[in-house]
Structure 1
């Protein structure tokens, strides 16, 4: 039996990027660009089933470490101010897969909700580009990774948070 509990966490990441706020915002608003940088882990494939970047729009994506669990994340956009701010909620569910399972093989066995959170991205003009502030407030559910650790790992591996966009 799983232990039932909630671990709350907040993480903020600030980066100065050599691009305009508009260029950095565009990296969030475009599905193809997003698929290149919004990576939850190094070498983790990401597949968008739906991408609807607008207030009230919803994204659904699948990702996972090859040979490990499959994760499905669903985002809902609550506030979008072009070149300035994005506020979205995220719900992530983990599905165990058969050994060697891949994103497209449909080998789903459990469906445990593991995370519910709010992500805010803010884009500020800076002297040499854009000051990006991303804050994630989350509730990690039951016996899963703590939210701050998960978010920090995701931000650390993302090319968006490196020196280039």
Structure 2
């Protein structure tokens, strides 16, 4: 069966207010031991390859095998980092070795009266059989932000 070669585009914005100082929220992204504590699929996947290089031009890798399911691979490059202000990445996702998407994501940090406002804006291109995965990516990111909130408590 031939794969239909098509593209789909999807974008979303998620904003969360976390009741913690900006520096604490920033550290959850910028320090490897902290990011390992909340990032990824948690108990839903068996961890695989991991790399963390938080600097402009640095690359992150997170690969895991879902229980009774596929291998998911995330590879990101940091294209812009302004401490305590923003992080911008481009990243690619694979599922069982098949390239599913390329995305640009911006993460913004803003101090507010009772904590920090975090805004995640993402634009993705989804390939071939993964054309309908845009809503799933948004849902997965919502799950990451919830895991981040739980970690910060």
TM-score range, shorter chain: 0.7 to 0.9
> Is residue 11–residue 151 contact of structure 1 (8 Å, CA) maintained in 2?
no
Aligned partners of 2:139, 2:130: CA distance in 1, in Å?
Answer: 14
Within 5 A, what are the aligned runs for 1:114-153? 114-144=100-130, 146-153=132-139
Query: Per the alignment, do residues 163 and 49 of structure 1 end up closer, same or farther by CA in structure 2, a change over 3 Å counting?
Result: closer
Q: 1:160 aligns with which of 129, 148, 152?
A: 148
Within 5 A, what are the aligned runs for 1:1-165? 1-40=2-41, 43-95=44-96, 111-144=97-130, 146-158=132-144, 159-161=147-149, 164=152
Q: Deviations over 1:78-121 (max 9, x none)?
A: 000111100000011222xxxxxxxxxxxxxxx21001000100
Q: What TM-score comes out, normalization by structure 1 length?
A: 0.81
> Is residue 10–residue 147 contact of structure 1 (8 Å, CA) maintained in 2?
no
Structure 2, unmatched stretches of 5+, are none
Aligned partners of 2:37, 2:46: CA distance in 1, in Å?
Answer: 10
TM-aligned CA deviation for residue 155 of structure 1: 2.3
Matched residues, number: 150
Q: What TM-score comes out, normalization by structure 2 length?
A: 0.87
TM-aligned CA deviation for residue 31 of structure 1: 1.9
SS of residue in 1 equivalent to 2:124 = strand
User: Would you tell me which structure has more helix in proportion to its own residues?
Assistant: 2
User: Would you tell me which structure has more strand in proportion to its own residues?
Assistant: 2
